[in-house]
């Protein structure tokens, strides 16, 4: 018996009957020889960490565009917080930590520069360009783009060939469709737990809101400080989901969490000060997208295609994959005139 087989046996003996076992995975699109050391979900996790898309998350906006200060969250630190919360929940519920971690680490790989503003920018520019390029989707969907990153873009266009369960978790971490595994459900809720609490933390640090602005009735239920609220949500989720086929908070904590999220949308995500640079960020992405759409020969070699119908998606892949600072640099390079030197 090799090391992987020992891991698989330990999963079978020790995990919940509701856990996704690596030995029972629905497999990969392209069949591979099993590793003697790692389960399929462990291999997926490792492949994700080594991707270029994962490294780029360190320079992508979470909420605040290019904030001054080293302590504001980025898309990467958000991803790591989601992973940590997810693993804690999975371990307590005796579910598959490796699968949970793989989904958590990859769930936001397809996010645009400038956070959700980037998603809005591309969705708007799709509408403008669709009459000429009908293959463009109705909206930019970071779930689908994250899946496209691991299936089509990474590894020089070959994709990572991840397990079905990981790909399902990526595609369903937000939206109407629910994940097929409890591990995917964990990441779906851990994502919300993470961003609600760290976005409050960043908004307090940035002076967008004050401690007194927080809804006091919700604070009494969930806790005054970041760690207290995360702990309250996680503990409730674990207690309410023990030995069940569905992952959820209790009605009381779940309702308080939903109301706190609504407060964030009203006071932070739509705040004029916090979003003051949003129109500029939108213009950067939209102008870049339209430029490369009209001049696909200017794309890097790996994003070029001999098939005209593929050009819009290739342009989207390139622009959506940019970091904030790279997008700004490319915009300046293309659209900002340079001073004449004699």
* pLDDT over 70 (residue 67): no
**What mean pLDDT do residues 256-272 have?**
92
User: DSSP character for 69?
Assistant: S
Q: What sections of the chain are H helices per DSSP? A: 3-14, 40-49, 52-56, 75-92, 97-106, 115-129, 142-148, 164-171, 182-205, 216-222, 226-241, 251-264, 278-294, 311-320, 324-335
Cβ neighbors of 139 (< 8 A, separation 6 or more) are 123, 126
Among the residue ranges 12-21, 68-77, 275-284, 303-312, the one predicted with the least confidence is 68-77
For 105-162, the pLDDT digits (tens) are: 999 999 999 988 999 999 999 998 998 888 899 999 999 999 999 999 999 999 999 9
Q: How far apart are CA 317 and CA 277, in angstroms?
A: 24
* pLDDT over 70 (residue 214): yes
User: DSSP character for 181?
Assistant: S
* pLDDT over 90 (residue 12): yes
pLDDT given at position 287: 98
* pLDDT over 80 (residue 272): no
What class, spelled out in words, does domain 38-335 have in CATH?
mainly alpha
Q: Are 3 and 37 in contact (CB under 8 A)?
A: yes
Query: Hey, what long-range contacts does 140-143 have (CB within 8 A, 24 or more apart)?
Result: 140/112, 140/316, 140/320, 142/108, 142/110, 142/111, 142/112, 143/110, 143/170, 143/171, 143/172, 143/173, 143/174, 143/175
Q: Strand, coil or helix: what is 293?
A: helix
Count of residues for the chain?
342
pLDDT given at position 274: 66
**What mean pLDDT do residues 89-104 have?**
98
pLDDT-derived band at 70 (thresholds 50, 70, 90) equals: confident
Q: Are 217 and 191 in contact (CB under 8 A)?
A: no
* pLDDT over 70 (residue 334): yes
pLDDT given at position 34: 96
pLDDT given at position 161: 98
pLDDT given at position 61: 85
62: tokens are 């979470």
Q: Strand, coil or helix: what is 201?
A: helix
Instruction: Measure the CA angle with vertex 38, ends 35 and 42; round to 5°.
Output: 125
**84: nearest Cα among 213, 186, 176:** 186
Buried b (16+ CB within 10 A) or exposed e, 62-80: bbbbebeeeebbbbbbbbe
Q: How far apart are CA 99 and CA 178, in angstroms?
A: 16
* pLDDT over 90 (residue 276): no
Q: How far apart are CA 249 and CA 251, in angstroms?
A: 6
Tell me what the pLDDT averaged over the chain comes to.
Answer: 94
pTM, two decimals, is 0.96
Q: How many CB atoms lie within 10 A of CB 126?
A: 19
Q: How far apart are CA 52 and CA 32, in angstroms?
A: 22
pLDDT given at position 151: 98
Domain assignments of the chain as residue spans, ordered by start: 38-335
């Amino acid at each position: 018996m090799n090391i992987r087989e020992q891991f698989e046996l330990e999963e079978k003996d020790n995990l919940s009957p509701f856990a996704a076992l690596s030995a029972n995975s629905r497999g990969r699109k392209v069949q591979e020889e099993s590793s003697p050391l790692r389960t399929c979900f462990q291999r997926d996790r490792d492949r994700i960490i080594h991707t270029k898309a994962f490294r780029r998350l360190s320079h992508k906006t979470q909420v605040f565009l290019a904030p001054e200060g080293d302590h504001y969250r980025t898309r990467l630190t958000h991803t790591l917080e989601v992973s940590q919360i997810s693993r804690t929940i999975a371990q307590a519920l005796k579910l598959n930590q490796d699968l949970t971690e793989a989904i958590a680490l990859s769930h936001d790989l397809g996010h645009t520069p400038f956070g959700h503003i980037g998603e809005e920018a591309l969705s708007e520019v799709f509408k403008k360009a669709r009459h000429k390029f009908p293959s463009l989707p109705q909206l930019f969907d970071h779930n689908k783009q994250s899946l496209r990153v691991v299936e089509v873009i990474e590894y020089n266009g070959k994709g990572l060939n991840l397990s079905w369960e990981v790909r399902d978790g990526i595609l369903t971490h937000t939206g109407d469709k629910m994940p097929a595994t409890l591990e995917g459900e964990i990441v779906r809720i851990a994502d919300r737990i993470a961003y609600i609490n760290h976005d409050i933390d960043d908004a307090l640090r940035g002076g967008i809101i004050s401690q007194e602005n927080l809804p006091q009735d919700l604070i009494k239920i969930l806790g005054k400080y970041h760690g207290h609220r995360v702990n309250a949500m996680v503990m409730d989720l674990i207690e309410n989901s023990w030995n069940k086929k569905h992952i959820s908070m209790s009605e009381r904590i779940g309702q308080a969490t939903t109301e706190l999220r609504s407060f964030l949308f009203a006071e932070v995500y739509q705040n004029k000060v916090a979003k003051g640079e949003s129109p500029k960020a939108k213009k950067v992405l939209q102008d870049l997208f339209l430029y490369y759409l009209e001049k696909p020969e200017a794309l890097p070699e790996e994003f070029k295609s001999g098939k005209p119908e593929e050009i819009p998606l290739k342009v989207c892949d390139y622009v959506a994959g940019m970091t904030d600072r790279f997008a700004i640099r490319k915009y300046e390079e293309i659209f900002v005139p340079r001073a004449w030197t004699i």
